[in-house]
Structure 1
Amino acid sequence: MADTAGRPILLPMKTDPVIAYYDGACPLCVHEMKLYERRGQGRVILEDVNGDIPGDVDRQAALDALHLRLQDGTLLTGWDAFIAIWERCPGMGWLAAITRPWPIRKPLDAIYRFLAPYRPRRKCANGACSLT
């Protein structure tokens, strides 16, 4: 949606909480998700998929791409999950607005899903962790 000057129309910030299922063994993911948790002011709840997760969340799929549960129980994945998070974080709604249109969202989702497997992950053994 755009105004007559072509600028995206920003919708009001959503206030219902969401649960983000993310890879807690990925330092980059942890840093980004903690930012959303802080900015979301209680609207973005984090769940590390390396721990206990609900039965309807596939662990491998959630490791492959961000998963997010809306308040109504709907699961979103990939770029759609990021959009839902940005809609709940003050000052980030513009990211949701400009990346929501299909011609922008679909290529970004494809790029995200292609690059996500290459993220760094901590490997721990005997109490010591390293990045791989």
Structure 2
Amino acid sequence: MKQDTVIAYYDGACPLCVHEMKLYERRGQGHVVLQDVTGEIPEDIDRQAALDALHVRLDNGQVVTGWAAFIEIWRVTPGMGWLAALTSPAPIRVPLDWLYRKLAPYRPRRKCADGACSL
């Protein structure tokens, strides 16, 4: 993985999540790599935790979750560093993380086409 590249572990069954992550992937110019947690994932990523909140692996191997994950995506995405800087201070980041974690369970999710899911 090249420097300043993150891997975003996101919910591929959520149309809103897919749309947003594809935007970061396009704008990220190779700095944002996507991995759908409804498929194969590394052993050190807990599937349910990754479905509950966005997870991002930094280029040093560290994994961050929730609002911090969005901050890291914005940090490496050209033209979005201002958003990372704006929402990084604790007085802003902490309440946004709390709100994100409260609202994330209500995101839209596609149903399985055949009625049987592996999740």
Does residue 61 of structure 1 match 2:61?
A: no
Q: Aligned letter for 2:79?
A: G
Where do 5+ consecutive residues of structure 1 fail to align? 1-14, 128-132
Output the CA distance in 2 between the equivalents of 1:116 and 1:97. 22
Q: Aligned letter for 2:99?
A: I
**Deviation string, structure 1 residues 97-120 (Cα, Å, up to 9, x no partner):** 110000000000000000000000
Structure with the bigger percentage of strand:
1
Output the CA distance in 2 between the equivalents of 1:36 and 1:45. 9
Structure with the bigger percentage of helix:
2
Q: Across the two proteins, how many residue pairs are aligned to each other?
A: 113
**Deviation string, structure 1 residues 62-106 (Cα, Å, up to 9, x no partner):** 000000001111000000000000011111111101100000000
Give the aligned CA root-mean-square deviation in angstroms. 1.1
**Deviation string, structure 1 residues 35-82 (Cα, Å, up to 9, x no partner):** 000000000000000000000100000000000001111000000000
Output the CA distance in 1 between the equivalents of 2:59 and 2:75. 14
Q: With structure 2 as the length reference, what TM-score do the two structures score?
A: 0.92
Selected match of 1:23 from 6, 11, 17:
11
Q: With structure 1 as the length reference, what TM-score do the two structures score?
A: 0.83
Q: Equivalent pairs: percent with the same residue?
A: 75
Runs of 4+ with deviation above 4 angstroms? none
Output the CA distance in 1 between the equivalents of 2:4 and 2:77. 11
Output the CA distance in 1 between the equivalents of 2:45 and 2:114. 29
Q: Which residue of 1 aligns with 2:24?
A: 36
